[in-house]
Each structure stands twice: as structure tokens, then as C-alpha cells.
Amino acid sequence: MDFSPDRPAFFVNPDYRPMAGTNKPVIDPATLETVGAIAAASDGEIDAVLTAATKAQAAWKKLDAKSRAKHLHAVANAIEAADFTRCAELMVREMGKPYPEAIGEIANCAPIFRYYAEMARDDAGKIAGTTQAGSFQYARYEPYGVSVHIMPYNFPILLMCWTVAASLAAGNACIIKPAEATTLSTSDYMTVFRSLPEGLVSCLPGGAATAQALIASDRTHAVAFTGSVAAGKAVAVACAERMKPCVIEAGGSDPLIVSQYAPLDVAAAGSVTAAFHLTGQVCTSAERFFVVEAVHDRFVELFAERTRALRIGNGMDKTEIGPLVSEAARAKVMRLVDDAIAHGAKAVTGGRIPPAHNVGWFYEPTILTGVTPDMAIVREECFGPVAAICRVRDFDEAIRLANDSPFGLGASVFTTDLAEAHEAAERLEAGMVWVNNPLIDNDALPFGGWKASGLGRELGRQGLDAFRRSKMVIIDHRPTIQEWWYPYPDSWFRETGGRKHV
């Protein structure tokens, strides 16, 4: 069958199969209209996916690196050739992001498959200096088996491709558990995998129970998760109980520092994207701003001017700020903003539901000043269109307060002082540091967080290693009886008090 948003289905490459569960409507967060329907996987559907993945992986792991790379390049070719108009529109209507961001995310995933196709060909292991003459000693890498990919709603396709490409390149089969909020667009995207061997990639809709079942199964062997800190901890614990490796990207509350040496026009423009991209629903959004007092007022003026120019509306229209994904997501943002204002902060812009958009889960991009480090909006992850600005004395205080957080995903700095740039790279407690250009990533560099923001890394060589295990191999090409083997020669013993000791 072909995929239809109105008929819940799960995907086992190359086919869609109808789901037997109760339909749940998918609601457009901008219009509150029904977009389609989804269902949660049944035990039988989970079993069917696991059976197909296990069978497919047994053959896939035996393929040579060149053949496996050819398959991944075919996926990249399919991505580059496909018309993703419907997929992008579904994503906009499911979770609200502006159409240019949706189509860009969906269409630009081919390079990650090409990157890992070639990396897996080049990285076969390591030969070590031998510890014994005549012995060939090396490490090789092998796949885990079947990997589970539990995806978020904010970048459902891109982040899925990051880990699926690496896992396939390593020799695993992949089962994707999409976010409930973006099940339709993720399911629609699955056609790009049709050139792969049967059963190698599956997409299994459902909620937390489906994820838990996949993690608990003895037929899955590694897990990739992106989502909240609370859910990430639960996944990590479930994996630990089963000695199952996992990669956890658990979000954060990223700091952004504006130095007295910052190029303020660039800092203001960059801060608009850093704080408000995807309505602030980005794990690496800049949420906590630390602005040196010498430039504080001018920066706020420029930042507010650019923020007020942003267009709010339906993601299918010409807009930068779409709705939040749900009523609950907006309620959290409103709670944190209202609490900050109650404790002395001031809303320079925003701080309210836009009057022209009282249908849907819209909230104005908001800049708060007079924020103090003890406020809830600084201590929690907001995950909405809010920039909370703290005035600081100097760069050192900014670094100290930026690090005073349980989170450690990314951190941004605007400065033209080279010493400050290097100080920031060295001293900031985060998995990623951006100087003068926030939110950039690179397929060849590791992506992930410190502290409560995650475990392990996606992308780069570490992203490939996350989905394979090492094996030490020792080969003696001239078999010889070794002198340290049993039994020990008498000369190795000495007499002490009537007893022999080695």
C-alpha cells in the first residue's frame, strides 16, 4: 500500500502495512484542524518489525564495505531525486515549523549518507604495536545488530538521518520510532529507503510504550534518543539495566554571551536566529543571555528592533515564527515568562499571545531583561521563543554564570577579541561552542552535550563508533609454546618458610 495521512500505517522496507490500533487524530497547532491520523503499534506489529530487522541484519552485516557504501549512496540519490512537497507540508501542519525550514531539513539529508558511506569504508580498525614478537595484534569493529532510533518532533527527519546513516554504515538494521507529533511526515519520508534490502529499515509509530517495548526487547542492541532530559534519563536507565549502549541527546538551556568586544549588529542578528529559530523549539536554542553591562543597553535595543520585525503566523505562509507544537508546550513557556516578570524581569518585546493569532498555540517572540540567575526561566529549559537576558559585569562573570547550570549542550559567544574566543572554547562547560555563528553543525564533527544534556555523540567518527563495537584480535602466525604458559618452571619459584611462592 501507499502511505496516506488518513490511514495509520507502519513501514517495513519496502512496504507500508496498515495498523490495527485505535486511530488518534493529528491536530495542526496553527489552525487546530485535523491533519490525519496515527495509531500506536500493537505487540504483533512490534514483533513483525523485530523479526524483519533481525533477518535483514544477518545478511547486511556480511556485506563488504564497498557494497554497503553503494547502498547508502543509493539512499542519497533517492533523497536528491525525490519531490518532498507533501512531506514538508505534512511537517508544517503537524508541528508548525515554517515551510522553508521543513523542506530544507527534508531535502538536505543526502550528504550524511554519503559521509558515512565513505567513512565506514575507510575506518576498518587499528593495528597496534605488538607486545610479543611474531604476533599480529589489531582491533576490528563490528555492528551491534538492530538499533532503535527514538526521534524528537523538532527536526524529525534530519536527526533521524544522522543516526540511521551511521548505524546502517556500521552494519546494523534500524527501527525508527518517530515522535507522535511528527509521525506523518516521518512515515512519508520512508520511501527513500526502498532501495535498501528488505526489512533493513522500519518505522514503527507509537508513544512511550512502543519505545519502552523496543528498548526492552532482546532483539534490539543499541539505542539513539533525542528528547527531554527526563525522558533521556529514563531511556538511559532502561538501557543500563540491559547493558545496552545508547546515545542520548537530552536538550539544554544554552547560554549566549555578548562581550564588550562583540560586533553588536552581528550579535543582534545572530541572536534572533539563535533564540527564535523554530519558535525556540531547538535543543541548542540560546535561552540564557549574559550581556556585559558596557554594551547591554545598545545590544538590547538592536536585538529588540530585529525581533519586532519577525512575522508570526501559519508555517505555510510567509512567516518566521510559527506556533508551538502543543498547548502544553505554550503553557510551559507562559508559566516561565510570567514567573520571571513576577520576580522583577521586564518584557521588552512579546510576553503575550499575539492578538491576531488567538487560534492555535502561538506566542510572541519575547525578550526579557532584568533577569537574575535564580529565576526559574534560567534554571529550566524553556523550549520556546524567549531570550532571558542577565546583565553581567564582565566576561569572567558571564562564563561563570553560563556554566552555573545542570545543562551543557551548546554555548555561543559574540566577540572580536581572540583571547576571549579561545577562553570561551576552553572554559565553557558544553559539548559545542560557537563563536560569532551559533547553531552551525558539521557532519564530520561530534554533536552532543555534557552534564544532563546527554551521553555519547552523533556525527563524526564518534557518531559511527556509537553503533559498532570493537574486538581485539591476536594472531600468532607461527604457533609457539610460550614460556609463561602452565606449568611454571621450577626456576620461577622460591622457598620461603617451607612454602613455595611464585
- Please report which confidence band the pLDDT of residue 94 belongs to, taking 50, 70 and 90 as the band edges: very high
Highest mean pLDDT among 118-132, 234-248, 477-491: 234-248
- Please report which confidence band the pLDDT of residue 125 belongs to, taking 50, 70 and 90 as the band edges: confident
Cell of 422: 579561545
CA distance linking residue 314 with residue 390, whole number of Å = 32
Q: Looking at this protein, which amino acid is placed at residue 206?
A: G
**Residue-wise burial string across 395-434, b where 16 or more C-beta atoms lie within 10 A, e elsewhere:** bebbbebbbebebbbbbbbbbeeeebbebbeeebbbbbbb
Q: Looking at this protein, which amino acid is placed at residue 276?
A: F
Q: What are phi and psi of 244, to 5 degrees?
A: -105, 125
pLDDT, average across residues 131-155: 96
Residue 212 three-state SS: helix
Residue 124 three-state SS: coil
How many CA atoms within 13 Å lie on the side-chain side of 435?
Answer: 16
- Please report which confidence band the pLDDT of residue 124 belongs to, taking 50, 70 and 90 as the band edges: confident
Total-model pTM: 0.96
pLDDT, average across residues 251-278: 98
- Please report which confidence band the pLDDT of residue 499 belongs to, taking 50, 70 and 90 as the band edges: low
Scan for cell 563524526, then name that residue: 460
pLDDT, average across residues 141-164: 98
What are the pLDDT digits (tens) for 7-23? 999 999 999 999 999 99
Does position 495 have pLDDT exceeding 90, yes or no? no
389 forms beta bridges with: 289
pLDDT of residue 497: 52
Does position 73 have pLDDT exceeding 70, yes or no? yes
Positions marked catalytic: 249, 283
- From residue 207, alpha-carbon distances to 39, 54, 158, 240, 476 in Å are 9, 22, 20, 21, 52
Let me know if 2 is exposed, middle or buried by CB neighbors in 10 A (0-12, 13-18, 19+): exposed
What distance lies between CA 437 and its chain's CA centroid? 19
Least confident of 81-90, 112-121, 363-372, 492-501: 492-501
pLDDT of residue 336: 98
Contact 501, 493 (CB under 8 A): yes
Does position 363 have pLDDT exceeding 80, yes or no? yes
- Please report which confidence band the pLDDT of residue 494 belongs to, taking 50, 70 and 90 as the band edges: confident
CA distance linking residue 155 with residue 500, whole number of Å = 68
Closest CA to 391 of 295, 308, 269, 306: 295
Scan for cell 507533501, then name that residue: 86
Cell of 447: 554533536
pLDDT, average across residues 358-380: 97
Contact 208, 214 (CB under 8 A): no
Q: Which helix (H) or strand (E) holds 110?
A: helix 110-122
**Phi-psi group of 254: left, alpha or beta (phi > 0 → left; psi -120 to 50 → alpha; rest → beta):** beta
pLDDT of residue 258: 99
pLDDT of residue 210: 98
pLDDT, average across residues 361-367: 98
Does position 496 have pLDDT exceeding 60, yes or no? no
CA distance linking residue 480 with residue 199, whole number of Å = 47
Share of the chain above pLDDT 90, in %: 95
pLDDT of residue 1: 85
Does position 256 have pLDDT exceeding 90, yes or no? yes
What are the pLDDT digits (tens) for 299-330? 999 999 999 999 999 999 999 999 999 999 99
CA distance linking residue 94 with residue 83, whole number of Å = 19
Cell of 318: 510567509
Output the average pLDDT for the chain.
96
